[in-house]
Amino acid sequence: MLNSETQSGADSLSLSHAETDALFAAVSEQLSLNTFNPDDQELIQRMVESMGDSRGMVRLSFAEALGKIGKPATPLLMEAVANHPNPVVRRASAKTLTLIADPIAVPTLVNALLNDEDTVVKTSAVGGLAKIGEAAVPALLKILASTEYPESAKGHAIWALGFIGAEAKEHLYREINSDSAEVRAAVVGAIAKIAQEGTEEGAFHILVNALTDSSLIVRCEAASALGSLAYQPAIPNLVELLHHADWETRKAAALALMKIGDRTALEPLQAALTEEKEAGVQAVIKLAISQIERQLEEDAWE
């Protein structure tokens, strides 16, 4: 956190509501007239401090103004995210960095995601990383590959990768061969988002290939994605998984076939049911069969 000298300096910048309102009025006028001086770091610092105001709309107004100023405000916002003693200012600063999306903020936002004690700061930081896009992808993948970071941080990283989507495809396509099953599973989830956009046929091929991954979590993630995407060309591959040695994989395949809902899966599901020994998988296969049969009946009446 801040040393005493820096903290006292920050305290000296605290303004009353009236002073804060006057500051915002002056800044707004300068921005509207295009006379704002982005080199005036003292003024930008006062704006950052004003995001500690108790009024939410005032904080939002300053965040939007700093967003308009853009990259000249990035260093002071990064400093606030990293060291400000007031979590309200750290939150608002991280959210403002999301508006600016300056790649130089990646290390600061990663540090906040991993180490800040405030959960809102963490979520605001990962929002900033997601908005920055491709420049943040290596750092997000590094979080996933590490054994040091908590599952919550990895969950945030997975969400950010999915949000970034196609912009991250080159990184993701490389990392599908990662030594870490956790990374591969996260990559499959992110690639599913790319496939959903419908512009990358290669994304579907990667998902289908992931059905044969050595890791259970990767296979199940791929099956779930293909089911949600209702990707019919994957039906033969999913049918094959109905006979996998691992029962969770068989269950995931049955669920995916149910979501796809194609009549060609009906006979293989019925055959698999006669062989299945796991009660939990039997229940899912029965559900899949009934769902597909019902859909066929409904289609027949149309």
Residue with tokens 């019925």: 270
Domain containing residue 274: 232-301
Residues contacting residue 283 through CB under 8 Å, at least 6 positions apart: none
Q: How confident is the model at residue 4 (pLDDT cuts 50, 70, 90)?
A: very low
pLDDT band at 280 (very low <50, low <70, confident <90, very high): very high
> Could you tell me which of 294, 235, 240 has the C-alpha nearest to residue 271?
240
Same domain membership, residue 220 and residue 241? no
Half-sphere exposure at residue 264, Cβ-oriented, CA atoms within 13 angstroms: 10
Residue range 89-110: mean pLDDT, rounded? 97
176/257 same-domain check? no
User: Is 69 inside any structural domain?
Assistant: yes
Same structural domain, 226 and 246: no
| Averaged confidence pLDDT in the chain | 91
Number of folded domains in the chain?
Answer: 2
The per-residue pLDDT for 7 is: 38
- Whether 10 is covered by a domain: the verdict is no
Of the candidates 181, 215, 231, which is a domain's last residue? 231
State which of 181, 196, 231 marks the end of a domain. Answer: 231
The verdict on residue 18 lying in a domain is no
* Residue 22, in any domain of the structure: no
Q: What is the pTM of this model?
A: 0.76
Assigned domain for 137 exists? yes
Question: Is the pLDDT assigned to residue 248 strictly greater than 70?
Answer: yes
How many C-beta atoms lie closer than 10 Å to residue 35's C-beta? 8
CA distance readout (Å), 80 to 70, 86, 163, 278:
15, 9, 25, 55
- Mark whether 196 and 289 lie in a shared domain: no
pLDDT at 199 over 70: no
CATH number at residue 270: 1.25.10.10
The answer on pLDDT for 82 being more than 80 is yes
Residues 236, 210: one domain? Answer: no
Q: Are residues 193 and 207 in the same domain?
A: yes
Looking at the structure, tell me whether residues 250 and 218 fall in a common domain. no
Residue 195 sits in the same domain as residue 120: yes
| Banded pLDDT at 194 (limits 50, 70, 90) | confident
Last residue of a domain, one of 179, 196, 231: 231
* Residue among 203, 210, 221, 205 at smallest CA distance from 178: 210
